[in-house]
Chain A
Amino acid sequence: MSDDRLGITGEVASGDRRNERIVTRVLQGCAAVTIATTVAIFAVLLDNAFSFFYGQRLHEAVLGATLDQRVGVVEFITGTRWAPYHAFPDYGVLPLINGTLLITVGAAFISIPIGTATAIYLSEYASERVRGVLKPTLEVLAGIPTIVYGFFAISFITPVFVRPVFETLGFSVSFYNAFAGMVVVGIMTIPMVSSISEDAMSSVPDDLRNAAYGLGATKQEVSTQVVLPASISGILASYILAVSRAIGETMAVTLAAGHRSQMTLNPFVEIQTMTAYMVQMARGEAALGTVEYQSLFAVGLVLFLMTLSMNLLNDWVKRRYREVYR
């Protein structure tokens, strides 16, 4: 037998080491792509949003381009009229934020109580068989494309439910209305709340439950006064995720709630969310370099900062309230 077939020769070993180094570099490069994505999102949004305010992109300004104040930052943040197409345009982002928050809060009123109660039922009451059917069925709700929810809103929720019911009650309901948006966004975020909360509740050890039963607690008391507090970090995290999802939700609210930006808390009129404005703007194919085009990035930056702070809050809650059972 020749020498190189007997075992690892020095040459083979050094070849392997070289391969190992190359592969590690390549894989590190893959991981770096994810970091680069985040950096690119930040950079692109800041760079282009800067041009919305000062006429030049941030990197051009740094390179020495002369600034030309177009929209004041204060006007953007505190203005209560958003009318980029108007002959006398106004760029106050508050009506868009108002629309987004209206939808988000309304959706939370649906997804949080229903999702939590579903999670309690799944984790505390349901038999193995019921759970095996109910859980995947609910998760289908999360897998349906949001455009389908938008269609559902305008073809069913508004004409069959919202308008007949609330017009009988004496409200005037427009075809595009925030209420339908709240309902569909609420429905699509139920599975987020229910499945994450259920995971948290299921990981509460039975000792805690048994101790409470031993003290004479009823099943309802155990669920709400023992299991719920013990799994609060996971439950809060699910709420934050659902809210974050509702803030960024686009197609369903665009179809359901419409394109009229206004400062209102009335859920039965047409409103516009930040995301709906972005869709409207992108459809219109605003020319590169116009204020309308740049406004996309200013609004996008606000949206991104809102969801980012939700994600950071989520992280913090998980760390702050985590209970470890062993």
Chain B
Amino acid sequence: MSAGTDTNELFGDVDLGWERLKGRAFLGFCIAASGFGVFALLLLLGDVASQAVTAVFVRDISVVRFLTESASRFPDEAGFYAAVVGSAWLMLFTVLLSFFVGVGTAVYLEEFAPDNRWKRLVEANLANLAGVPSVVYGLLVLAAVVNLTNPLSGERVGPILFAGAVALALLIMPIIIVSAQEALRAVPDSMRRGSRATGATNWQTVRNVVLPAALPGILTGTILALARAIGETAPLIMVGALLTARRAPEGPFDTFGAMPTMIYYWADRPEVDFHYLAALGIVVLLLILIAMNATAVYLRNKYETEY
């Protein structure tokens, strides 16, 4: 008997050609699927870019005017200025509200909390909060802040910028906490022990040793969380952000509009002229997002220490 027949008897029920074909088809499907995501991304960016280019070169929308004017009924007079300023204010108060509480929670969970039921409850709750839809945060702030009666003036608090910042701060708090926890975990225990051996208390160790070592990671996580917040539309609409902000907000207690709500308003208008403005607004928003992400990556690469 030749070796060939042996193989045939052993693998008689296996059609190797068919197996190979199946393997190829499967790999092809997987590659196509991976390509689909990339293709969709390119299509999306291409669509936005082409509309923005049309806006500037075909519709003759002046970029300078777009960046210095505010909302208007007439598409050729409308601009993005008030929305950009509104978003900048929002980010300022969002980071003030969420950073310290978020990092404090992370420090508590990683450095102070005994491993008990309370700690597990806080951590399980964080996972749940991260899954709450952003509109719900808007609803919470609408009822708990915006429609609250101000005890000093006896009037409704109203849709002020500060309320929007509260909604965004609550929304990104879980993200800040989890990323800060990861940054704290990356600090090796030997550094903590070294500090404790010199007689430092737990808090002194955290303040002088752990936090400085973890700070770049914490800041990176915070910037990425803010990048998430700056594009959020739904919570701002729920708290009553102005869709047509004709002037920039002057402080936290002023009414406000923001970049994403302005884009929504323009995109939702039936007139196609407004769609071009929306495309330009999206380009501005995406450029800001890229800048924020680049800063985060830069921080991480510059200050990242391998222990």
Contact = CB atoms under 8 A, between A and B. Distances in A.
Interface of A: 8, 16-17, 19-20, 23-24, 26-31, 33-35, 37-38, 40-41, 44-45, 47-48, 113-118, 120-122, 125-126, 134, 137-138, 140-141, 143-152, 154-156, 187, 190-191, 194, 218-220, 223-224, 241, 244, 247-251, 254-255, 275, 278-279, 282-283, 285, 288, 296-297, 300, 303-304, 307-308, 310-311, 314-315
B201 A255 contact: no
B213 to A, nearest CB: 18
Given A8-B199, A218-B19, A152 B44 contact: yes
Contacts of B245: none
A16 B193 CA distance: 18
A251 B233 contact: yes
Nearest to B46: A156
A248 B237 CA distance: 15
Most buried by B among A20, A138, A219, A251: A251
Looking at chain B's contact residues, is the secondary structure mostly helix, strand, loop, or mixed? helix
Contacts of A138: 34, 37-38, 41
Interface stretch (B74-82, B118-126, B184-192, B299-307): B118-126
B140 A41 contact: yes
B160 interface: no
The 9 closest A-B pairs by CB, nearest first: A248-B133, A145-B231, A30-B104, A117-B33, A27-B108, A121-B30, A250-B234, A220-B26, A311-B131
B238 A282 contact: yes
Given A30-B108, A296-B139, A307-B132, A146 B231 contact: yes
A209 B242 CA distance: 57
Interface string B123-148: 01111110111111111101110010
Contacts of A304: 132-133, 136
B289 interface: yes
Contacts of B289: 143-145
Nearest to B268: A255
Given A20-B202, A278-B135, A251 B143 contact: no
Interface in B180-219: 199, 201-204
22 contacts: A19-B201, A24-B203, A27-B107, A27-B108, A33-B173, A34-B174, A40-B140, A47-B143, A48-B143, A117-B32, A144-B286, A145-B232, A145-B285, A147-B282, A154-B275, A255-B264, A255-B268, A279-B237, A296-B142, A300-B135, A308-B131, A315-B127
Given A191-B37, A251-B233, A145 B260 contact: yes
B84 interface: no
B147 A250 contact: no
Contact of A244 (B20, B26, B37, B131): B131
Nearest to B107: A27
Contact of A283 (B29, B104, B243): B243
Interface string B277-307: 0110010011001000100000000000000
Contacts of B268: 255
Most buried by A among B22, B43, B108: B108
Contacts of B175: none
B125 to A, nearest CB: 5
A151 B277 CA distance: 11
Looking at chain A's contact residues, is the secondary structure mostly helix, strand, loop, or mixed? helix
Most buried by B among A37, A249, A297: A37
B253 interface: no
A245 B156 CA distance: 33
Contacts of B30: 117-118, 120-121, 125
Given A151-B267, A278-B139, A297-B139, 14 more contacts: A24-B203, A28-B112, A34-B126, A35-B125, A38-B125, A38-B129, A121-B31, A121-B34, A148-B48, A150-B264, A190-B40, A250-B234, A279-B237, A297-B143
Contacts of B107: 27
B83 interface: no
Interface residues of B, number: 88
A313 to B, nearest CB: 11
Contact of B264 (A38, A116, A187, A251): A251
A194 B37 contact: yes
A220 B108 contact: no
B101 interface: yes
A151 B40 contact: no
Contacts of A300: 135-136, 139
A35 B170 CA distance: 11
B29 A117 contact: yes
A24 B111 CA distance: 10
A212 to B, nearest CB: 14
A244 B131 CA distance: 7
B33 A247 contact: no
Contacts of A126: 34
Contacts of B23: 218-220
A240 B294 CA distance: 31
